[in-house]
Structure 1
Amino acid sequence: MTPLDLEAGGALYRWLFPVLWLGFVAVWIAMARGGKAVAEREDAFSRLSHYLPLALGIVLIAAPDIPVPPLDGRFVPLALWPVRLGAAVTVAGIAFAIWARLWIAGNWSSDVTLKRDHELVVDGPYALVRHPIYTGILFGLAGTALAVGEWRAVLGVALVGVAWWRKLTIEETVMRRQFGDAYARYASRTRALIPFVL
């Protein structure tokens, strides 16, 4: 039994979350145009090392109709409050990720990339954490996982966290090489993903 079976919450669960995430993807694609030229890009093996756990994590969260015993058990009761709270958390996470994407502007890329005239951005959302796009997406997926309510979704969020940690480790190697002491100072005062924690 999933939140889809709840008479009042079924429509919210069935339609709102796909609309939120598809809208996010559409905005992301639109914002991807017009970035700076690429000076250096990670190789295919490096990309696979973070794309594979990311994809598996998203499938576990987004496809609750595919059985994955014993992870189909619930970690929250079957009720409307997890769906509603999950929706609010998802919206907040998506909004934070979009804010960070707009802030970094032409320096952004989907792969680990060094751009021509790459700038070190340390203000706006980047003053809160070094990788606020990952923070926002992870927070949004955690909200969606809460609405799903099954352990499979918790594992999915954990896998996305592993993917982001792997990717940010690669990114930080590039940033430290490019920006040296300036990046070291930035990293010393700003956490990677969770303010004041991680």
Structure 2
Amino acid sequence: MIKRLVFQTLISLAGMGMLLFGAAGTFAWPAAWWYLIEIGVLSLWIGFWLARHDPGLLAERLAPLVQKQQSRWDRFFLVGVMLVWCGWLILMALDAMRFHWSAPLPVPLVSFGSLCVFLCIFMCRFVFQANSYAAPVVKIQASRGHKVADTGPYAYVRHPMYAAALLFFIGTPFLLGSWWGFTCVPVMVIAMGWRAVREERLLAAQLDGYADYIARVRYRFIPFVW
């Protein structure tokens, strides 16, 4: 499984690199190199941790994003996410490097972006520790004894991984130096919120105890906000 983790991580980084540097028209983009290195190192770190502490969850997270057990709407959603993700990277590369639509961001903002990316992946480690069923796809993992996760960050919000993703959405344009990258963030947040609502409907209908969990934990992403 470690070999598969390393292989998929390298393939993902290579694909992102092709989009970023291809759209930028140059490899002389230190921020993009740092972005890929940061994501790669942190992804392997959390993957190695999962391999040791929860190999079942790691297997789920390495599985294809389109699966038979998955809800049909979620299949279309994740395909759309992949397309938007690719377009987002291309847009930021065109903005920051090829056409320079955005003025260069000050170093403190770029550093803040890197910090946000780090915090996102670091927070996911606590999400995985609290929820062994945090698969990328929306489905009931009956074969793994799927049950409600309500400890750790799940005691405060119902979707802590989505909450962490908010940091990633904010940090990526800062780190890559693209103000235009922020134009996609509200759309991505709304889409993530839509998925969270649909996911809750499925879990409430099919997972014992989830309806009670919703009643106990009021907020989805951010306490006292939503």
> Which TM-score bucket, shorter chain as reference?
0.7 to 0.9
What's the counterpart of residue 165 of structure 1? 193
Q: Which runs of 5 or more residues in structure 2 are unaligned? A: 1-23, 61-67
What's the counterpart of residue 178 of structure 1? 206
**Structure 2 CA distance, aligned partners of 1:145 and 1:90?**
10
1:110 matched to 2:132: no
1:89 matched to 2:89: no
- TM-score normalised by the chain length of structure 1: 0.74
Structure with greater helix share of residues = 2
CA RMSD of aligned residues (A): 3.2
**How many residue pairs get matched?**
181
1:144 matched to 2:166: no
Within 5 Å, give how 1:1-40 maps onto structure 2.
11=30, 13-26=31-44, 31=50, 33-35=55-57
SS in 2 for 1:98: helix
AA aligned opposite 2:148: L
Residue 73 (structure 1) shift: 4.1
Cα 1:29–1:164 shift into 2, 3 Å: farther
Cα 1:79–1:151 shift into 2, 3 Å: closer
Cα 1:159–1:98 shift into 2, 3 Å: farther
Residue 130 (structure 1) shift: 0.7
Q: Percent identity over the alignment?
A: 20
**Structure 1 CA distance, aligned partners of 2:147 and 2:198?**
17
What's the counterpart of residue 132 of structure 1? 160
Q: Which of 127, 130, 150 is equivalent to 1:100?
A: 127
Residue 143 (structure 1) shift: 1.1
- TM-score normalised by the chain length of structure 2: 0.66
